Chains A and B, each alone.
Chain A
Amino acid sequence: MNNKLKILRAMRNWSQAELAERLDVSRQAVNAIETGKYDPSLPLAFKLARLFGMPIEEIFDDGQKGHADD
């Protein structure tokens, strides 16, 4: 799954370790999410969305277009 985590982090001038601290996860977890090697759980995705102040779907892109009921 693609995501904008690296861009959002860079915009705030945070290191991976700093973002990890704010999320209370390991630096490896942030790196794995940023590089698309690991998709976070829903609770962690919500935590990210709250931290960056935007909806989950603006941070993560599953490559599907339109709404689920389309």
Chain B
Amino acid sequence: MTDAETPRPRRPMSPRRRRYWTSLGFAALIGGLIGGWLVVDQPEGRGLTEMLATGSLTPGFAIAAALCWTIGLAIAMILYHRAIDDHEEHAWLWASTAGWYALMFPAPVWWVLHRAGLAPSPDAMLLFLLTLVVNAVVYLWLKFR
């Protein structure tokens, strides 16, 4: 076996990497919990659109999901920001800026057009999804290009 073929011993995971994967795992767990509970909480025969967007939710689920999202996201974000390296922080900051612009431009435009009767009432979740998509695209591009 040549030197080049000799397998290099794997180093143990660094504390930073451990924190990083813990934060991602924790965020996935929170998402899975909310998603799983949402599915279980639905009445019989409800379609996907109703479940994800238009259908009503039970107060118990809504309160629990809101708490899980707020507290869980806060903990995950603290762990995440303590674990990311320079490069990822750079990607995250630019992605956040782009996400903010994706809200700052259309939200007031939609609002004034609605007040003039030229557009339906602004949809907060649609705007949120837009910022999320822009954020994700910019983050992935900067991180993996």
Contacts and interface: CB of A to CB of B under 8 A. Distances in A.
Real complex partners, A and B?
Answer: yes
Interface of A: 18, 21, 24-26, 28-29, 32-33, 37-38, 40-41, 43-44
B14 A29 contact: no
B87 A29 contact: yes
A29 B145 contact: no
Main secondary structure of the interface of B (DSSP, over half): helix
B86 A25 contact: yes
Contact of B87 (A18, A21, A24, A26): A26
Given A18-B8, A37-B145, A24 B16 contact: yes
A26 B90 CA distance: 13
B53 to A, nearest CB: 34
Contacts of B143: 28
A28 to B, nearest CB: 6
A41 B14 CA distance: 20
B11 interface: yes
Interface string B59-96: 00000000000000000000000000111101000000
Contacts of A41: 86
